[in-house]
Amino acid sequence: MFQFTSKAKTFSYILILVGLVSWVAGYVLNNSHEADSGNHTEVVAHTENTAHDAHELDMAHGHATAHGDGINHETQINNRPWSALMVNSFFFLALGLGTLFFLAVQYAAQAGWALGLTRVMEAIALFMPIPLIVIIVLIVLGQLHVHHLWHWMDPELYIEGGEHYDSIIAGKQGYLNFGFFLARAIIYLVGWTYAARWFRKNSLKEDEVGGDVYYKKNFKMGAIFLVFYGVTSSTSAWDFIMSIDTHWFSTLFGWYTFAGIFVTSIAGLTMLTIYLKGQGYMEWINENHLQDLGKFMFAFSVFWTYLWFSQFMLIWYANIPEEVTYYMQRFGEYKLLFFTMVAMNFVMPILIIMSRDSKRISGLLIFAGVFVLAGHWLDHYIMIMPGTVGSHYGFGLLEIGPFLFYFGLFILVVFRNLAKAPLLQKNHPMIKESEYFHQ
Amino acid sequence: MHYEAPIREPLIIGDKSYHDITVEVARPIETKAPRIWWFAFSLALLLFLWGIGCILYTIGEGIGTWGLNKTVGWAWDITNFVWWVGIGHAGTLISAVLLLFRQKWRMAINRSAEAMTIFSVVQAALFPGIHMGRLWLGWYVFPFPNQYGSLWVNFNSPLLWDVFAISTYFSVSLVFWYVGLVPDFAMIRDRAINPVQKHIYKILSFGWGGKAKHWQRFEELSLVLAGLATPLVLSVHTIVSMDFATSVIPGWHTTIFPPYFVAGAIFSGFAMVQTLLLIVRKMYKMEHYITLQHIEMMNIVIMLTGSIVGVAYITELFMAWYSGVEYEQYAFLNRATGPYWWAYWSMMTCNVFSPQFMWFKKLRTNLIFTFIISIVVNIGMWFERFVIIVTSLHRDYLPSSWSMFSPSFVDIGIFLGTIGFFFVLFLLYTRTFPVIAQAELKTILKSSGEYYKKEQKDHGEH
């Protein structure tokens, strides 16, 4: 049994508290800066030329970069605390959701090797509802105009003949309207949480009862969840992230976001497993299992890059204003971050864990995992920030605060879940395949 | 030793010894062809000859013999090209990706799937070759130093990337296939009685002696090739999709194309493997090796990839509306309700609805039903390419250029000819090559054979 030590507990409380305080402090500072409508303390990269080009395109084709003329600097500065919260919420949602997906795949594919890890996966997957609830709160706050993350929530866009009327956004109203949007978010919350709890419940029952009843049940539920997730993974990415840049669209966006979610969660799972092993738990997990996790981390980093390249290259090559403004903005104000992010997510896994031997060394897996996690955090940052704060981005209390807050909460919730049940499930008909696993 | 849970179904049915496997895999090569083989071969040969006739006619008369026109300048030939390339994907997927995922059921089917890959890429390559006009100058597609001034290929064109992708794919697949064949050729060589046959297989098997060192090199090479082949599974159809997606034609330019084309290719490839293996299994009585479970697994892959393709169709449709771009919106409205609506709905029915039957175990373990669905999927995937290519082109930006495409008898003849050519190659292969990778299959006999699994159950696990 895993022991959630009081030391770890205290550590998690401190993180939560520090995170909260930082965000609130950042919020206050941000609002006081708002008055003079400029931001002098933050790192601001602003390439006037590109921004100007993008603006000209907006004028010419009526397809603005996210908020062409809808958002002024004041709104962008005002958005930053909420954007920073959204980036971290989505990142931690990815950790839980990707793990839930991975767990369902294990059951649906009748895989044997990873069964020694199911308890860890369950514990992480059960964390998923928390950031999702925060996102739902953010949606409601957006509708109340506390912030302006989702541009389409502005009612003036839909007044025909009005100054701010936007025919393109008005055309999307059938999908992008508060009622339907909120309903979808709640469907994701209910559906995903239900699946996470179902897998947990059944694996605990299987411990008591045995036989292959639960094996069959989980197999079915795995398949059902994958169908549900196959649709909602795309729609949720369109909702939460793509609709921020309301004019912009990309058919690949859902799968691209999914690939990022998946690789994030594999890195998280690997690092937590190594941590637990380091604490003397999970002696049944050895370098063979770690190598497989490393393979997933490596392979899906490459897969993510493949999707990143496909989306980027096709839009760059075709160079039509409806689409290319998205990347023009990221090439302008976010250029350095943009390429750093790709390097972290693609080059680092290749350098660190491509060879067989390095996938069997815990230290190197953690080293690669840190790059992958940081890289995908940055990817979410670059997906969310340009459409909400434009050039007024930075890395300060506002960005670090929510991260620490969620990190503390993650430790608190996941460790509690881990402590509630034995770390190795028994009675699964294939559990011995995981025990005797070698390659 | 590899441990396998008792709950897993056996992959080799019956009480087989290593020798039984040898004998049964070598049988089609060592015995006379069944009558049905001659029947199928004659039919395929006839189609092939008809195809050659049509190709010669095209080369003699020019592309004017095809149904193309100024607006629809790409249609039938490219549809066939993409269709055949797509079919080729399953072979590499089975040999490389399923190897990485440790799917042991691949061993009964990989040889034939890889053969299918090679033969279908040959068919695919024919089409651009003919379409370019002067077949004898086909080598101009490769960049080479020359004395014609600066006559170079256009490196910015995805069509050129395609030349690289497909030729790389073809070479790696061929080497991968051949390496696996070496020990099996040696097995045939050792059993051959006819000296001519013995000599031929002796050359083919590269002096394989089955020494430990041979096996070690064999395994190392296989692993390296699997590593090379895995990205190739993705790259080839990705670049085929870029032939369309880099252009600014509504219905072609969409970012989901690369992974969606790959999923579709695996989908159609597995359907073709299913078709071929059901025939092989029946014709050569391989039911103990290509078991019902193998067929079920392939049906599940078909269902999965079919659903992925379905999600992509719906995504495209939704995004066309969501984008607010009127050209995009029209392109998709026209697909579903325009003059080619029948092609669109054939595609939807065959590719998205029909694989959903495989959710039912009764249906996915029914051989006749499986065979029918595998054909239906292949038809559907042909229509998919037709829909993408023709419906996007036939409505030009200028309404005065709007036109329709209908194939000429030459178009149809060349397509039928490639089907004939493909089956000629495949049927010859089944008579001369071991259709099951017997050396590899023998490695799982004691962990996944039915007899050994029963023994293990009766006498404890170790």
Write out pLDDT tens, residues A261-300: 999 999 999 999 999 999 999 999 999 999 999 999 999 9
Tell me which residues of chain A, numbers 225 to 244, contact chain B at a CB-CB cutoff of 8 Å.
Answer: 227, 230-231, 234, 238
Crossing angle of the two packed helices A335-342 and A362-389, in degrees rounded to 10? 150
| CB-based contact A108:A215 (threshold 8 Å) | no
| CB-based contact A136:A189 (threshold 8 Å) | yes
Nearest to B301 by CA among B374, B384, B353: B374
| CB-based contact A52:A312 (threshold 8 Å) | no
Q: Which chain B residues are within 8 Å of A238, Cβ to Cβ?
A: 322
The rounded distance, in Å, linking the Cα atoms of B107 and B99 is 9
The rounded distance, in Å, linking the Cα atoms of B115 and B273 is 10
A145 touches chain B (CB under 8 A): no
The rounded distance, in Å, linking the Cα atoms of B50 and B63 is 17
Kindly report the pTM of this predicted structure: 0.93
Q: How far is CA B250 from CA A312, B68, B132, B133, B241, in A?
A: 18, 20, 25, 28, 14
A318 touches chain B (CB under 8 A): yes
Residue in B3, B234, B312 closest to A432 by CB: B3
A250 touches chain B (CB under 8 A): yes
Helix, strand or coil, per DSSP, at residue B154: coil
A317 touches chain B (CB under 8 A): yes
Q: Residue A194: what pLDDT? A: 96
Q: Residue A65: what pLDDT? A: 44
Kindly determine whether residue A314 and residue B245, on different chains, have CB atoms separated by under 8 Å. Answer: yes
Nearest to B273 by CA among B32, B86, B80: B86
Q: How far is CA A30 from CA A45, A405, B143, in A?
A: 18, 19, 58
What percentage of chain B has pLDDT greater than the value 90? 71
Region of residue A70 (left: phi > 0; alpha: psi -120 to 50; beta: else):
alpha
| CB-based contact A66:A389 (threshold 8 Å) | no
Q: What is the pLDDT averaged over residues B256-279?
A: 94
Q: Which two tokens stand for residue B174?
A: 């061929």
Q: Nearest 5°: CA angle at A29, between A28 and A32?
A: 85
The rounded distance, in Å, linking the Cα atoms of B415 and A51 is 52
Q: Residue A433: what pLDDT? A: 86
Nearest to B264 by CA among B355, B131, B331, B336: B355
- Whether residue B98 has pLDDT greater than 90: no
- Whether residue A314 has pLDDT greater than 60: yes
Return the higher-pLDDT residue of B427 and A33. Answer: B427
* One-letter identity of residue B146: N
Q: How confident is the model at residue A71 (pLDDT cuts 50, 70, 90)?
A: low
- Whether residue B24 has pLDDT greater than 70: yes
* One-letter identity of residue A281: Y
Q: Which chain A residues are within 8 Å of B324, Cβ to Cβ?
A: 167-168, 171-172, 247
The rounded distance, in Å, linking the Cα atoms of B169 and B89 is 10
| Spatial CB neighbours of B340, under 8 Å, sequence gap ≥ 6 | B334, B387, B390, B391, B394
Query: How many Cβ contacts (< 8 angstroms) between chains A and B?
Result: 91
Q: Residue A106: what pLDDT? A: 94
| CB-based contact A115:A434 (threshold 8 Å) | yes
Q: What is the pLDDT averaged over residues B373-397?
A: 94
Q: Residue A67: what pLDDT? A: 45
Q: Which two tokens stand for residue A222?
A: 């795995």
Q: How confident is the model at residue A37 (pLDDT cuts 50, 70, 90)?
A: very low
- Whether residue A54 has pLDDT greater than 50: no
The rounded distance, in Å, linking the Cα atoms of A236 and A100 is 15
Helix, strand or coil, per DSSP, at residue B76: helix
Helix, strand or coil, per DSSP, at residue B449: strand
Q: Which two tokens stand for residue A35?
A: 């008055």
Whether complex ipTM tops 0.90:
yes
Say how many residues make up chain B. 462
Helix, strand or coil, per DSSP, at residue B360: coil
Other beta carbons within 10 angstroms of residue B384's beta carbon come to 28
| Spatial CB neighbours of B374, under 8 Å, sequence gap ≥ 6 | B271, B272, B274, B275, B278, B302
Rounded to a whole number, what is the distance in Å from the CA of B256 to chain A's nearest CA? 4
Rounded to a whole number, what is the distance in Å from the CA of A392 to chain B's nearest CA? 27
Helix, strand or coil, per DSSP, at residue B12: strand
Q: Nearest 5°: CA angle at B215, between B210 and B219?
A: 150
Rounded to a whole number, what is the distance in Å from the CA of B259 to chain A's nearest CA? 8
The rounded distance, in Å, linking the Cα atoms of A304 and A301 is 5
Kindly determine whether residue A231 and residue B6, on different chains, have CB atoms separated by under 8 Å. Answer: no
Taking CA atoms, what residue in B is nearest to A216? B7
Kindly determine whether residue A310 and residue B5, on different chains, have CB atoms separated by under 8 Å. Answer: no
Beta bridge partners of B12: B449
Q: Which chain A residues are within 8 Å of B247, Cβ to Cβ?
A: 318
Helix, strand or coil, per DSSP, at residue B266: helix
Q: What is the pLDDT averaged over residues A363-368?
A: 95
Q: Which two tokens stand for residue A430?
A: 């294939």
Region of residue B179 (left: phi > 0; alpha: psi -120 to 50; beta: else):
alpha
Q: Residue A51: what pLDDT? A: 45
| CB-based contact B286:B292 (threshold 8 Å) | no
Q: Residue B118: what pLDDT? A: 94
Q: Residue A58: what pLDDT? A: 45
The rounded distance, in Å, linking the Cα atoms of B291 and B107 is 12
Say how many residues make up chain A. 439
Q: Residue A46: what pLDDT? A: 43
Q: Which of A168, A232, A249 to mutate to test the interface with B (most CBs of B within 10 A)?
A: A249
Q: What is the pLDDT averaged over residues B29-39?
A: 91
Q: How far is CA B41 from CA A7, A118, B28, B255, B281, in A?
A: 76, 52, 15, 42, 17
Beta bridge partners of B449: B12
Q: Residue A357: what pLDDT? A: 92
What Rg value do the Cα atoms of chain A yield, rounded? 22
Kindly determine whether residue B319 and residue A252, on different chains, have CB atoms separated by under 8 Å. Answer: no
Tell me which residues of chain B, numbers 215 to 244, contact chain A at a CB-CB cutoff of 8 Å.
Answer: 231, 234, 238, 242
Q: Residue B198: what pLDDT? A: 94
Helix, strand or coil, per DSSP, at residue B16: coil
What percentage of chain A has pLDDT greater than the value 90? 77
Q: Which chain B residues are within 8 Å of A430, Cβ to Cβ?
A: 5, 7-8
Q: What is the pLDDT averaged over residues B252-268?
A: 94
Q: Which of A167, A251, A433 to mutate to test the interface with B (most CBs of B within 10 A)?
A: A251
H or E element at residue B335: helix B326-337
| CB-based contact B405:B67 (threshold 8 Å) | yes
Crossing angle of the two packed helices B292-323 and B367-386, in degrees rounded to 10? 30
Kindly determine whether residue B323 and residue A311, on different chains, have CB atoms separated by under 8 Å. Answer: no
Taking CA atoms, what residue in A is nearest to B312? A251
For chain A, give the secondary structure using H, E and C.
CCCCCHHHHHHHHHHHHHHHHHHHHHHHHHHHHHCCCCCCCCCCCCCHHHHHHHHHHHHHHCCCCCCCCCCCHHHHHHHHHHHHHHHHHHHHHHHHHHHHHHHHHHHHCCCCHHHHHHHHHHHHHCCCHHHHHHHHHHHHHHHCCCCCCCHHHCHHHHCCCCCCCCHHHHHCCCCCCHHHHHHHHHHHHHHHHHHHHHHHHHHHHHHHHCCCHHHHHHHHHHHHHHHHHHHHHHHHHHHHCHHHCCCCCCCCHHHHHHHHHHHHHHHHHHHHHHHHHHCCCCCCCCHHHHHHHHHHHHHHHHHHHHHHHHHHHHHHHHCCHHHHHHHHHHHHCCHHHHHHHHHHHHHHHHHHHCCCHHHHCHHHHHHHHHHHHHHHHHHHHHHHHHHHHCCCCCCCHHHHHHHHHHHHHHHHHHHHHHHHCCCCCCCCCCHHHHHCCCC
Q: What is the pLDDT averaged over residues B203-218?
A: 92
- Whether residue A38 has pLDDT greater than 60: no
Nearest to B263 by CA among B287, B246, B241: B241
- pLDDT tens digit sequence for A42-51: 444 444 444 4
The rounded distance, in Å, linking the Cα atoms of B24 and B21 is 5
Q: Which of A252, A295, A327 to mutate to test the interface with B (most CBs of B within 10 A)?
A: A252
Taking CA atoms, what residue in B is nearest to A323? B323
Kindly determine whether residue A302 and residue B231, on different chains, have CB atoms separated by under 8 Å. Answer: yes
- pLDDT tens digit sequence for A98-125: 999 999 999 999 998 999 999 999 999 9
B149 touches chain A (CB under 8 A): no
Q: Residue B1: what pLDDT? A: 55
Per-domain residue ranges of chain B: 18-142+233-453
Nearest to A251 by CA among A317, A167, A300, A310: A310
Residue in B257, B316, B323 closest to A322 by CB: B323
Rounded to a whole number, what is the distance in Å from the CA of B234 to chain A's nearest CA? 9
Q: Which chain B residues are within 8 Å of A234, Cβ to Cβ?
A: 311, 315
- Whether residue A426 has pLDDT greater than 60: yes
| CB-based contact A164:A90 (threshold 8 Å) | no
- Whether residue B334 has pLDDT greater than 70: yes
Residue in A227, A230, A251 closest to B319 by CB: A251
- pLDDT tens digit sequence for B129-158: 898 888 888 888 888 888 887 788 889 999
Residue in A112, A231, A307 closest to B311 by CB: A231
